[in-house]
Chains A and B, each alone.
Chain A
Amino acid sequence: MSYVFDLERSARGLRLNRFLHGLTSAGKRKLFLENPDEALKDLSPQEKDMVRRLDWKAMQDYGASFFCLEKLARTKGVSNPEMVAHFRGETLEQFLKTRRVPGAR
């Protein structure tokens, strides 16, 4: 139960989640892909670093909502199984070996 997204996490992650949620706008995705400095300017140095490195686990631990992380993943062409593998500390290949139908993604 350690990763329950509650009001404490939501408050801690609000600024980061706001940026991630903004990627539902095509204009903000374009800006992020073409000029990340400008797109990330409202974030703290730590937040910018996690986003730039696509460090899914660090963002999750920091207070990012999984559903906001999905917006960044779609923008960067990363699939949910890749994110889940990262949270588990596995490679995608290792994770897929634990699945019943590895091709269904």
Chain B
Amino acid sequence: MAEALAAAHASDAHDLHVAHQFDDAEQQWGASTLGMWVFLAQEVLFFGGIFAVYIIYRTLFPDAFAEASNHLDVTLGTFNTAVLIGSSLTMALAVHASQVGHRGPLVAWILLTMLLGSVFLGVKVYEYAHKWEQNLVPGPWFQWHGEFPQQAQIFYSLYFGMTGLHALHMIIGLGIMTWLVLAARAGRFGPNYHNPVEITGLYWHFVDIVWIFLFPLLYLIGRHGHP
């Protein structure tokens, strides 16, 4: 009885991939997830600083911002929001699959998350290209045919800055998932160890949350109140 327990415990410790500085897998998991939350706290402040700039300029120039916002495609913006929320669902299901040790579904859900993320980025490329054609990219080539051209250019600086930074975070996320899906395929994750899947999920959900705020603040300012 004692030997069976000892043998089970030995193989258990071997499976758990517990690094030497941790007492057990629980502590390792706790440290791993808390570490990601601390990083995300920094990210809140990182994006938050730019959101603060947005808040200030929108407070100062509400009409110019509303008019500038109307040149963004609300259909594409809404579609992208749905796509990104969908990718959060698939990522959550990937974490779930890793918790129950289903390797096939785990790989499939990560791939699906990457696909949806790529769709989002593809739409953004299309949107950016269209903005370039409309001469709405800030710079010497910026042309505004309404009132308040300088304030409109500020709006578009914020649009490209904020969505660009967000898109960069998505590209980094896709890079991380590339490693993750290969590791998952190699069978490195299971019920007793799936920290990388979990913290990748936390990162991806955060990127989703940033867009949940970006979408209405950039796309939905002046849709009503048309003369």
Q: Do A and B come from one complex?
A: no
